[in-house]
Every structure is written in structure tokens, then in C-alpha cells.
Chains A and B, each alone.
Chain A
Amino acid sequence: MAEFARSEPQELPVGPVGRSGPGWWGVAMLIASEAALFSYLLFSYYYTGASALPGWLLEPAPKMIPTLPNTLLLLASSVVAWYGEKGVEKGDRTQALVGIGGAFVMGFIFAGVQCWEWAKKTYGMGTTSYGSLYFTTTGFHMAHVIVGLVILAALFFWVLDDYFSPRRRISVSAGILYWHFVDVVWLFVFTTYYLTPYLGFAK
């Protein structure tokens, strides 16, 4: 290694190039910590449910309509966002705007459906510990969706304003990574609250 100080060094990238750079690492750390947060939330559900008396589940058969299609919509939005990121990567502004804007619209619909579902529930946050857990966990997720939507909106306007180039686009990659995270976490929330009752958990 020390010979390196004497010889001519390699050419190095200057600043974040493509998706790699400090910002991407920072978001990865944020995600690790947020993922831990969600796992403690789900742990709370399983722990409380496992030691609860029968009848704890206020919804032994959670309705799949509209949640299942809504879940698929959210997952699809990840693909659309990825398509937008590719657009920035290729320098294709239309593709970028369609992708990022599309993901925003899909995420927005997801949030709307979720709110409608909340409103229809026959129980509330203070009904029992099940209600508390359900609303807090989905509420936490909703907060992340909203943050994700703000990020997507910001990216949309920045792309519209021609901020990025195929090389200088770290903000796009970091933002889209966050959106993927929001979507993947929902899969775990969905499995926990909507599928495990069918698998016989906490009957």
C-alpha cells in the first residue's frame, strides 16, 4: 500500500456517481434502523397475541377486499418507481417523470384506500390491545408512506426542473430505495395482520 504514495494513483470518481456515494449509505442505515422499529412493532403483536385469551382477535377473518389489491398496487408502485429511476439513469426525462409520478399516484391511492378502510373498522384504537396494535402499526406504516410520497413529489419536481443527469443522481437513487423499503415493510405488516389469523394465530 505505501508504494501507492510514490506511484501515480488511479483515477477516482469525484463525488457521488451513479447510485453509489455517501447518501446511499446513509439511507441504507436509516432503513436498517426503521426495519428494526417495525420488527419490534410486529414482535409486540405476536407477543401480546400469543399470551392473550381466546377472542383477542377483533377480526378473526380480516377482509381481503380491498386490502389484497391495495397491497398489490403498492408493490407494483415499486416497479414503477424503479422504471422512473432507470429513466434518470438513461437521461430520459419523460420516462423518469412517468415513473416517479406514477409511483406517487399509486402510493397516493394506496393511502386513500387505507384511510377508507380505517374509517370502516368497527373498533378503534382504544377498544382493546388488538385495536391499539392494529392502528398503531398501520399508522406507523402510513406515516412512512406519507414521507415516501413527499420524497417522490420532491424528486418529481427536481427532475422536472432538470436537476439530475445520468451520473449525478444520488438523490433519486436514495429516494427510490426508501420507497422500496416502504413497500417491502407493508408486505410484513400485511402478512402479520391479515394472513396470520387465517393460519390460526391467536384464535
Chain B
Amino acid sequence: MRQAVFRRPEIGDDNEMLRARLHAIWETAPGLKGWLGTVDHKEIGIRYIITAFVLLALGGIEALVIRLQLAGPDLHLLTPEQYNEFFSTHGMTMIFLYASPILSGFSNYLWPLLLGSRDMAFPRMNAFSYWVFLGSAIFLYSGFLVGAGPNDGWFNYVPFAEKDYNPGFNQDFYSLGMIFLGISTTVGAANFIVTAFKTRAPGMSINRIPIMIWGTLTASAANLVVVPAVSLAFFLLWMDRQFGTDFFQPAGGGQPLLWQHLFWIFGHPWVYAIVLPAMGMVSDGLPVFCRRPLVGHSLVALATVSVMILGFGVWVHHMFATGLPGLSLSFFSGASIIITFPSAVTVFAWIATIWLGRPVITTAFLYFASMILLFVIGGVSGFMTASVPVDWQLTDTYFVVAHIHYVLIGINVFPVVGATYFWFPKMTGKLMDERLGRWGFWTMFAGFNIGFLPMHLTGLLGMPRRIWTYPAGMGWSTLNLVTTLGSFLFAVGILIFFFNVIKSLRSGAPAGANPWGGSSLEWSVSSPPPPYNFAVIPTVASRHPLWEEALDESVARTSLTRGMTLDQGKEALHTSPMDAEPERIVATPEDNVAPFLLTVAMMVLFYGMLLKLWIVIGLGGLGCFAALLMWLWPRRNLLERAPPDRKEPVHG
């Protein structure tokens, strides 16, 4: 195939012929090859979302078992060993396999649509990050299936996690599984960063991008540099356990606290990584129902970035009780408290948006709005634990469990369910049932608060976390019973939500392109969107491309029906990082099974490492090598290598 080195992109109108041509170019092949090889970000996003919801359900079942065990004093539903496995696997599942991947799923699906592009910057890496996520989830859960799930909490402190105290395979599954999962997160983060800077529609300058992009972008930047810390920590632990090294073993001159540093250098910013994208969803969804732009858009963007930057410097507040020097405690305490300022900016922006708007109370709105309340409650208890003397009292009590859940459920689960109500019509072309939605919302909201608000009290009354049972007469029994009832009610709310999804998928009312009257680009394409997203690449002239008539923000108008057609193959446009000036026409990869094969080979490698079978490790390694070679082989159709005659026509 001879292709020009430089070309003037054709400008055309959106019409049926063009659509038919693009459809033929972009459609995923039918059958197994298409299924395993698809690189369509929408398909990958939906897979991510479904997988993460399944894992939410699994983690939820584990939580309910925990709650049954704690419903009254002196219960013996679980043995202490089983309890350890249940709460460790619950934490691990929720944090690593649900909270973060679900946000990646939404971002994968939505980003190119929000940005006005045809796909992510690296479509094959996108598929790879999904497969590795799935593979590592299977890997981690396979340990649980053979009775060797993680059992030292999701934070996995040494020396408990060392072999002397924990001889089984439990921690090896966890360590290797986390390294495996880290690969998925890192690859995904790199992809988001480059996508945000390179694939925006012409005219979508940096001050015009939606807040959701800011949320996932900053989270990805953080992931890129902090995930290696935890992967390394788990690797060193695995070495300690399997090869007798002394990283965390005091007897050999090692440092147990090094574990905590490496873990929390990652762990604290991670909290923002699973929160900022969700806050972005609210920042973009809430204003649609308020019928006005988000108040203080630029400030909220700035707050998002500054929360993340400050977030790097405060990991030590998870270590207040470890006996570190007082000066460093004061510093980290102060820094932690400062984070409330940018967070408050966002909260006030949301409140002002509701206040100044004309809110339409839909289910999605209810979920988004409730996040504000729950964020405030979680923020207040976080403020308390960030203060050293208070933390010394509260650490390792149920107060902290209450705080964690207000933060994680309040500002991850609630917005995610809201986001599902909000974007479900776009993804499926069907509306979700509003009546059922309200029932689900109020059940969830009531159940959540009945379940978790009393935990603050249980904690203040001194009930330690991570205990498998407790004696009667401590004054904790009633509170625990209420908590258990509340959490079951909460679970019913989630079930109503799942039921609504399935029901609406079957018989929801047709949604149309823009059921909520949204302002961003994804609402300009049909629901569900065609494989190529945009027939012509839009040209963006303001922050709210679909509200320009109503807002009259700018003189120029966004152009959605006339623009670059880029239909000479599977093509997309790359633009400059700041101003989004057109920079390059890129050839996008076809469906490719290499990412899937590489993941399979990696699974072989990791199981080999788990069992220390060198032959299996060798086979897995060779498989990885072959798959990588297949993937990276320079291709002519991607213009990565010279044409056969090496004389390229410069212009075409």
C-alpha cells in the first residue's frame, strides 16, 4: 500500500455514504477472532464495566458474610482464619478489582466520545489492559478458590505477611496477582495520558475539556508513578517469602516499615485515583440536570489537579501510629488537612450549581447529589483521622471502617451508579426505568446510612476493626445488629439497581441521541454510537458544544456535521497537547489477538512463578516474547515501516 507522507485532510459533510464506508472500515469482525481481538474502546469499556460489577457483587457477598458474623456477640459462623480471608479478600476486591476498574471502564467507553475522537491513542494497549485486568482477577480469585486467598488485610502488613507467620500460598497469590494487576493499571494510565493530550477534537483546547477528563487524567498520572511502588513492595515480599531475602526481616537487617512506606506511597494517592474520576462524573453529570454549566469550571479543574499533587505528599498519615518522629507527623498532618481546601472548592461548586440552576430530579441526579452529602461526612471524619492525637485514639477502630466506607461508597459507588443511569441510554440506546430507579436509590441511601453511620459510634465506643467476634456486654451489640440490617438493606438497593439494568436492557424505552439534553460531544452521536464514533471529526468552539445556542458563550460555533472525514482506511486525528491544533493523521490498528495471547502467556508465567516451576516460567516467558514480537512487528498499514519500494509519494 502506497501512502502519502503528507496529505491535506478531506473536508466533507456527514452523509449516508460516508457513514456506510466508515462502518465497513471500523466494524469489529464477527466471530471468535473479533471477540478476542477487538480494539474498539466502547466494547472494551463495557467489558470493563460488567467485569467490575460482577466483582462488586462478589466483594459485596463477602461483606455480607462478614456482617452476619458480626451481627451479634459470640457468633461462630466463620472461623477466625476464614474471617481473615473474608475481610482481606473483601478489601482487595473492592479496592483493586472494583473501584478502580469500574472507573477505567467508564473512561474507556466515554473518553473518545467526550473528546471527539475515533478511539483511544493506543487501542491495542487498551484491549491489553482489559485482558490483564480480567486475568489478574482470575488469578487472585483462584487463590481464594483453593483456600488460599489473601488473609492479612488488603494492606498486607509485614511481618504477618512473611513466611514465618503465614506459610501457605495465600500471600503468594496476593503478591503475584497484584504485580500482574499493576501491569494493567500502568498500561491503562499511559494510554489515558497520551489520549488526553493527543486525541482531542480540533479546537478542544485544554480549558475546554470536560472535568471527567481531568479526573481520570490526574488519576492516571498518579497511577503511572505510584503503582510501581506497590508492585515493587509485593515483589520484594515475594522474594522474602520464596528466596530468603531480607527486605522486611529485621533479623537480616531489613526494615518492616519500608513495607508501609512503599505501600502507602502508593495507597494514599490511590484513594484519589478511585475518587477523582468519580468526582469528574458528578461534575459533568450534575450540571446537565441543573440546566446550567458547572459553576467555577476552571477552579474545579484546578482543584482536581491540586488534590492529586498534594495527595502525593501525605501517605504518612496512614502511619501515625507507627512511632515515626514527631516533626514528620506534624508535617504530614498539616499537609493532609490542607487537602480539604481544594476538595471544598469542588463541593461548593456543586452546591452552587444546584443552587443557581433549575434542577430536574431524576434518579441520576439523586445519586450525584447524594454524593455531595456523603463526601462531606466522609471528609469530616477524614479531617478527624488526619489529626494526630485524634488518630491515635481512633486508629484501628470501627470509626475508620465507617470513614473508609463513606469515602468509598459515598464517592465511588454512588456516583458510579448515578453514572450508569446517566450514560446507560448512550451505551444501549434504552432508557432505564425511573420508578424502579428511585426505589433503588432510596433503598441504597437508607441502607447505607443505617448500616454505616452507627459504625462511627461503634468505633468511638472502642470496637477494634479486624476482629472476628466480640463478647456481649461491651455496648456494641445493638449497634452491630443495626449495622448488619442496614448493610443488607443496602445490598437490596444494589440488587434493585442490577435488576433495573437487566430489565431496561430488555424493555427500556428508546433513548434517542440526547435524552437528558447534555452539553458534551458524546450526546451528539446516536445511541449506541456507531463503531467509528464520529462520521466527521467535530470542530469544537466552546466548553459546551451542544449548548452554544442557549448559552451564547462564543461567537464561533462548533461544527458537528462538516469536518475532516478521514476515511482512507482506519484513520484518526491527533492534535497538539495544549490548543488541539490538527497535527497528524494516524492509522489506527485493526483488531488484533496479540494482546489476548500476551495475557494468556503472562498467566502461564505467573502461575509458574507461584509454583516455582521453572519450566512453566520458561514457557510463559517464551510465550510473552512471541506475543510481544507479534504485537510490535512494524506494520506497513500502520505506516511504521517504509513502503516496499521505499520511495514514498510525499503528497497524496
Contact = CB atoms under 8 A, between A and B. Distances in A.
A2 B247 contact: no
Given A22-B586, A132-B246, A14 B639 contact: yes
Given A129-B253, A171-B640, A37 B231 contact: yes
Contact of B8 (A9, A30, A34, A43): A9
A37 B253 contact: no
Contacts of A168: 639-643, 648
A1 B225 contact: no
Interface in A1-33: 1-6, 8-17, 20-23, 25-26, 29-30, 32-33
A8 B11 contact: yes
Given A14-B3, A164-B641, A2 B559 contact: yes
A1 B640 contact: no
Given A2-B557, A5-B563, A52 B253 contact: yes
Interface string A41-62: 1011001100111001000000
A48 B6 contact: no
B539 A4 contact: yes
B249 interface: yes
Contacts of A191: none
Contacts of B582: 4, 9-10, 12
B241 interface: no
B253 A130 contact: yes
A164 B634 CA distance: 9
A125 B236 CA distance: 12
B610 interface: no
Given A1-B540, A5-B539, A130-B253, A12 B8 contact: yes
Interface stretch (B255-263, B352-360, B455-463): B255-263
Contact of B648 (A47, A163, A167): A167
Interface residues of B, number: 76
Interface string B198-226: 10001101000000000000000000111
Contact of B262 (A16, A34, A40, A130): A40
B203 A129 contact: no
B203 A4 contact: yes
B203 A8 contact: no
Nearest to B225: A36
A132 B254 contact: yes
Contact of A126 (B186, B194, B244, B629): B244
Interface string B529-563: 00000000001110000000000000011110011
B224 A16 contact: no
Contact of B640 (A29, A52, A170): A170
B34 interface: no
B25 interface: no
A56 B246 CA distance: 12
Contact of A26 (B125, B563, B625, B651): B125
A160 to B, nearest CB: 13
A136 interface: yes
Nearest to B652: A14
B585 interface: yes
A98 interface: no
Contact of A14 (B227, B252, B585, B625): B585
Minimum-distance CB pairs A-B, first 9: A15-B639, A165-B642, A29-B190, A1-B203, A2-B556, A132-B245, A37-B228, A126-B244, A5-B559
Interface of B: 3-9, 11, 121-122, 125, 186, 189-190, 193-194, 197-198, 202-203, 205, 224-229, 231-232, 236, 239, 243-247, 249, 252-255, 258, 261-262, 265, 539-541, 556-559, 562-564, 574, 582-587, 625, 629, 632, 634, 638-643, 646, 648, 651-652
14 contacts: A1-B202, A4-B582, A8-B8, A9-B564, A12-B583, A14-B587, A16-B586, A37-B232, A48-B253, A52-B253, A132-B239, A133-B247, A165-B642, A168-B640
